A and B are shown apart, each in its own frame.
Chain A
Amino acid sequence: MSDQLRSFFGCGLDDERTFDLDDYGDVVPRWCSGCGDHGVLNSVKRLMRDEQLLPERTVFVSGIGCSSRFPHYLNTYGFHGIHGRALPVATGIKLSRPDLHVFVVMGDGDCCSIGAGHWLHATRYNIDMTVLMLDNAIYGLTKNQTSPTTPMGYATNTQPKGSFLPALNPITTTLGVTNVSFVAQTADWVPAHLLATIRAAYRHSGFSFVRILQRCPKFTAPLFAEQARTPDLHEMLIHPNGVTVPGLDKIYKRSLEHDPADIDRARALSEESERVRLGVFYRNESQPRYDDIRHLPTHTAAQNIERLNVELDRYAV
């Protein structure tokens, strides 16, 4: 939507309000101390502050799970849906209200398990929304059951001798879907990278999928402990069209030049590797967007003029 049109819909380019972090939400979240969700929430608030997003033009949609409490902690519109259905809800919102910016917050249970069917189709539909998939590799809210992303051999309450199967890889899965347009990976313990990645996703026109590796101090602490304190276990994907964080290379020294336009290499890089790769795997804004092609509601020229007149009448003196 052009700025002109945004102004017409009352989103106020001439809006003189300014927002600081607390304006986007100042409640203390009910997450465990040490939970990676806190860091994601902080990064999201920073993004909103930096971009001066209008709270009434922003919607956070979630499903069910620890991370799905997200909308409760933000002073924007929120939709705490049902398990696995965040993406269909977001689709409905975006198609009927293209002027709203839609964020979707899901966990690995919501996205990769009960709602996995929607994940595939939402990726293909490529509707403009920012999708944050907070992956703690466990069903946390129901307290410690194997999820599709639980690593093989990791013991949980449902599989006490360890998960039987290799973990599902959400990056390769998303990259395998026709019409995919943005796939990135970041981690809650690299806050600067987290913020930069969420920003890149927000600015992407289309369905931007960000997998956020997220610590769960209660149930999967051993999975992330060493990773989080060892920069050498990471490999940063760098490129002018990817995510660049000035100074981060001083700590995270291992990096790999990767052009996010190269889907074949993105797919290759997304496979299991010695080190966890963070960065933008793929980005392509030329993929068709369903909301662009089939946006609702559609109005005739006469209807648009009438709507414009109604709007202008508000300013009649």
Chain B
Amino acid sequence: MSRMLVTGNAAAAWGARLARADYVPAFPITPQTEIIETLGGWIEAGELDARMVTLDSEHSMLTAAGAAAATGVRVFTATSSQGLLYAMEMIYTVAGWRAPFVLANVSRALAAPITLEPDHNDVLAARDSGFLQLHAATCQEVLDLTLLAYRLSEDEGVRLPIIVNLDGFYLSFTREPVQIPEPSAVDAFLPAFDPGGLGFSASRPVSQAVAVLGGGPYSYFRYEMHEAARNALAVFDQVAADFGDRFGRHYSPVESYRCDDAEIAFVMMGSFATKAKDAVDQLRDAGQAVGLVRPRMLRPFPDQALRDALVGRRGVAVIDQNLSMGLGGVLHTELSAALCGVPNAPVLASFVGGLGGRDIGASEFFAMVDVAREAARSGMPPVPRLLYTRSELREMRKLQGIAAAERAAAGQPGDGA
């Protein structure tokens, strides 16, 4: 085992390398490109015995990934943001093929307006596709969850593709010390790809994911995918226990940080949760009983683990780095459903923050604790809030003023801003 200083992107590439991915269909997109470049470099240097094909788009890339997995090889691919959306037709389709493979998604907010920085609306667009989702917060987790994902994906009770998500820029380009396991140890943990019922054989023809007419067979196959995804809850625990025994790093579907006696808990996903950890430490130093609950797994939704982590707390601040237009934060909604009707469920306060890579400052975490505490005291869930400072609003108004002046100078009607 060696310890290296690598980026989140390189950690994802290491995951694919150690998993001995056979086939890597690729297409560049910021901030993911480093992953495929790293793999491409290793392959051509002879350090990784795999085939990489650069395709004309993410749509073709996901098609090739699913098809290759369906012929019985281990597949890794990676994308981001607009690329994931462009591939969305195939995201649903290859999940229905029950073709197990791993897709690293480097989260980046979606157009329009176009940007490069992260939030989770891209990966949440794949939420209902049949892909399972694991969300990393550190570079070490990116590598480890990639290895776990292969075991989980290829388990005979699951057989679904998995997205391992890491935040663009904040994690993709941040170097952290990462334990790189010995290849032989990974081989023992993750045996060679078991094609299961997949694969081409002239003497054993099979049909996979053929067309159906009528809702009966369709419902059957779709519900079967749902059950396979639910199976993944128990399988993850087994696989993670084995991983922990071998490598000494233990992963649960939901991480609880300083939660033992916490009255108030933050709930959030991804690398921004490390900011919440920092805020928790500061609040603990100030004598406040605050903790963090971080789902590593979003699909299947670890509802029981979240109930275990949250029931009995007084208040919970859910911070969504996404926005479902016309509804609000997705995690808040899902958590509300998980806690609905449960005795002693805490009052949830909903916050949307970190959109398009917007930072979440320590003082905002402190303010959210106050809101959550007040909600717990009154028993009334507060109105959902967008994290946005006065100075940000002032800056925005200034820009709108400039735009209005430009429009007026050009003799165009303005919006009165």
Contact = CB atoms under 8 A, between A and B. Distances in A.
Interface string B16-29: 00000000001111
B57 A84 contact: yes
Contacts of A114: 27, 56-57, 86
Interface in A138-180: 139, 141-143, 145-146, 148, 157-161
B56 A145 contact: no
Interface string B29-69: 11001001100110011000000101011000000000000
A116 B57 CA distance: 10
B57 A139 contact: no
A113 interface: yes
Given A83-B82, A113-B57, A114-B57, A145 B37 contact: yes
Nearest to A148: B56
Contacts of B28: 139, 142, 145, 158
Contacts of A113: 56-57
A188 B38 CA distance: 33
A145 B54 CA distance: 9
Contacts of B408: none
B111 A157 contact: no
Give the bracket for the number of chain A residues in contact with chain B. 10 to 19
Contact of A161 (B29, B30, B44, B86): B44
A158 B40 contact: yes
B57 A157 contact: no
B31 to A, nearest CB: 10
Contacts of B54: 145-146, 158-159
A143 B34 CA distance: 10
A159 B44 contact: yes
Most buried by A among B41, B57, B82: B57
Interface string A184-214: 0000000000000000000000000000000
B57 A158 contact: no
A82 B82 contact: yes
Given A114-B56, A116-B56, A142 B30 contact: yes
A270 B52 CA distance: 31
A163 to B, nearest CB: 9
**Taking each of B33, B54, B82, which has the highest tally of chain A beta carbons within 10 Å of its own beta carbon?**
B54
Interface in A74-111: 80, 82-84
A145 B26 CA distance: 11
A146 B82 CA distance: 20
Given A113-B56, A113-B57, A114-B56, A157 B30 contact: no
A159 B56 contact: no
A196 B236 CA distance: 65
A286 to B, nearest CB: 33
Given A145-B54, A161-B44, 5 more contacts: A143-B33, A145-B33, A146-B54, A157-B33, A157-B41
Interface of A: 80, 82-84, 113-114, 116, 139, 141-143, 145-146, 148, 157-161
9 contacts: A82-B111, A83-B86, A114-B86, A142-B33, A145-B33, A146-B54, A158-B52, A158-B54, A160-B41
Interface of B: 26-30, 33, 36-37, 40-41, 44-45, 52, 54, 56-57, 82, 86, 111, 114
